[in-house]
Amino acid sequence: MASAAQSNQKNDLPSRISVMLDRENFPLWKSLVLPIIRGCRLDGYILGTKECPEQFITSAEASGKKINPDFGDWQAEDQRVLGWLLNTMTTGTASQLLHCETSKQLWEEAQSLASAHTRSRVIYLRSEFHNTRKGEKKMEDYLMKMKDLADKLKMAGSPITNVDLIIQTLNGLDSDYNPIVVKLSDQINLSWVDLQAQLLAFESRLDQLNSFNNLNRNATTNVANKAQFRGNIYNHRGSWRGSSFRNTRGGRGKGRPSNDICQVCNKHGHTAIECDHRYDKSYTGSSYSNANVERQRTHNAFLASRYNSQDYEWYFDSGASNHVTHQADKFQELTENSGKNSLIVGNGAKLKIDASGSSKLKNLNLHDVLYVPQITKNLLSVSKLTSDNNIIVEFDNDCCFVKDKLTGKVLLRGILKDGLYQLSNGSSQTNKDPCVYLSVKESWHRKLGHPSNNVLDKVLKICNVKTSPSDKFKFCEACQLGKSHLLPFKSSSSHAQEVLELIHTDVWGPAPINSISGFKYYVHFIDDSSRFTWIYPLKQKSDTIHAFMQFKNMVENQFNKRIKIIQCDGGGEFKPVQKVALETGIKFRMSCPYTSQQNGRAERKHRHVAELGLTLLAQANMSLHYWWEAFSTAVYLINRLPSSVTENESPYFLIHKKEPDYNVLKPFGCACYPCLM
């Protein structure tokens, strides 16, 4: 009797647990419930290892069947577990599982029910995790939001590592936090607690500086209002004098003519806000010299530089002795100026220097930067920039470049804007403001993945897209950031005559950053006759054989032809491919060691894909974690763009014998919304 009592006591299940099962917390609920059931030695009932005995047994002594006592004991325990499990669920969840007759059936269906919901929830939570930005939120609220999403993903069975949590949190910060982001990015083994403390401290410091800046801006506004008031008095006087002045013929004069130049029609006598063509986007303006307009605008801006609204970009200044900024958040270190030093600007005015310090611009050092809240533009001293860094600065008619003096690599770029060379910040303006108007050519340039002007013009001709002579653009920031040029291999004039006659292939990777889906490599296959390309992502090089089998089965079925020749390099990942080729009668060609030119088409394709993919990421201002999405989009676009290599026909046309539909294209990274109707 004592043994039976001890057994029942050991198998007693607790009346309640702290977490009730709902649609979102199955992994957590399971981690609590399963140890309790195992501790009571009842896990065999839910896992199926303790099988149900026969309900009836046949006795040789008694005629017929009688109830098996073992079945009664098993059923009693199983129903006890079943009832206890239902008691640990919410009403909504339990109502979906009331039909279950055994604890094993209940356990399996609960797992199945949670699995379907968990997959969709993980996708939603991961999307929200990677898209959350601080924006206008307080730092404390932003950090709580990121940690809450990470906890929910962990609860859903898809945990986020501490490193990924920190990286994504830093990625979601505004440009005001760039100094602390640079500092924290260099720290090894940074904990989440330390990250919170440093970000909250930096926010407090930033709030103090912003309050200080607001006081200075108010003082500057008062000075500007006084200057504007004096200007109004002058205009009133001029009008009064003009209206009372009589000309030599006895008639009244019309007063002093206006020297304003309209920015819409380029005509004198009125401003853009008064122009009749203000809302007419098709109006191209008069043939008045744009150069004169730019000089006039720049000259006026220079004279009124103290009173214009502040600009947050950097501008190159060859006449400045120091770097100057009105933004406190651009500093890594800041020392208040206790003296009475001042800065003399072009119109002779003296502006107070509140502080000085050091900063960084990409990988360039900025020393002795002056903090002058009243100045309207952030100025980069060319002489100071070249003396503190091993660089050269080159100026062209519409852009400028900062280059490494040893390698000649372009480090920074600037564009001519209103007569000044403005440093490009590396992100497309259209991504920040969806209302910015793009020209037809620039819009199609983005949709098609930044092709050359010749290819762009040919596609526009195919689509019957009309453009005006003034519709042109000289500089594409994304192209400059994403495209680089190496010395080309010697071109080969030979090519296959039929589809699948010769396939070039190669593996690219490992990528410096894993993709959002965990891919490190990709393999592409190029049809030599049409140059059409197929691309497959890989998590490891050994997956190459699986990608090849998918490709082989797909193309041979679609085109009703067989692959004849495979051309690749001597990488070990292609040894299983060679075995399959020998078994299926495909000729396998391998390039000689250290002669990548023999596999030149595959090598050049890597450059083309990576170049275009990085350009798309630069255009969309997206993280490098999305490189696979950008690279696969790049291949999709390359297959649909005409090329001089294919006699100005697209690979899509050559392999499918019809023109691709360009009208379905959208710029990479553009906003899209689900239709809920």
Average pLDDT score over residue span 95-117: 83
Q: Which tens digit of pLDDT belongs to each residue from 527-541?
A: 999 999 999 999 999
pLDDT of 430 reads 36
How many angstroms separate the CA atoms of 499 and 493, rounded?
Answer: 17
Residue 478 in contact with residue 615, Cβ under 8 Å?
Answer: yes
Of 350, 377, 380, 376, the residue nearest 368 (C-alpha): 380
**Where does the pLDDT of residue 552 fall: very low under 50, low under 70, confident under 90, or very high at 90 and above?**
very high
Q: Lowest mean pLDDT: which of 308-312, 427-431, 473-477?
A: 427-431
**Where does the pLDDT of residue 164 fall: very low under 50, low under 70, confident under 90, or very high at 90 and above?**
confident
Burial class (CB in 10 A: 0-12, 13-18, 19+), 311: middle
Stated pTM of the model: 0.37
Q: Of all helices (H) and strands (E), which one includes residue 112?
A: helix 103-131
Q: May I ask the CATH architecture of the domain 439-677?
A: 2-Layer Sandwich (3.30)
Average pLDDT score over residue span 569-591: 91
pLDDT of 260 reads 61
Is 309-425 assigned to CATH 2.40.70.10? Answer: yes
Residue 377 in contact with residue 325, Cβ under 8 Å?
Answer: no
**Where does the pLDDT of residue 595 fall: very low under 50, low under 70, confident under 90, or very high at 90 and above?**
low
On the CB side of 254, how many CA atoms lie within 13 Å of its CA? 2
pLDDT of 675 reads 72
Q: Which tens digit of pLDDT belongs to each residue from 278-295?
A: 555 444 444 333 333 333
pLDDT of 526 reads 94
Domain residue ranges of the chain, discontinuous segments joined by +: 11-118, 138-243, 258-277+288-303, 309-425, 439-677
**Where does the pLDDT of residue 67 fall: very low under 50, low under 70, confident under 90, or very high at 90 and above?**
confident
3-state DSSP call for residue 262?
coil
Average pLDDT score over residue span 636-641: 93
Q: Say yes or no to pLDDT of 209 above 90.
A: no
pLDDT of 493 reads 58
Both structure tokens of 641: 């763009």
Give me the long-range contacts of 142-150 (CB less than 8 A, separation at least 24). Answer: 142/169, 142/172, 143/169, 143/196, 143/199, 143/200, 146/172, 147/192, 149/125
**Where does the pLDDT of residue 638 fall: very low under 50, low under 70, confident under 90, or very high at 90 and above?**
very high
> Whole-number mean pLDDT of the chain?
76
Helix, strand, coil abundance in the chain, percent, nearest 5: 45, 15, 40
Q: Which tens digit of pLDDT belongs to each residue from 325-358?
A: 888 777 877 777 766 677 777 666 778 888 888 8
Both structure tokens of 365: 């050092």
* Greater model confidence, 185 or 200: 200
How many angstroms from the chain centroid is the CA of residue 424? 18
Q: Say yes or no to pLDDT of 194 above 50.
A: yes
- Cα angle 162, 168, 172; round to 5: 145
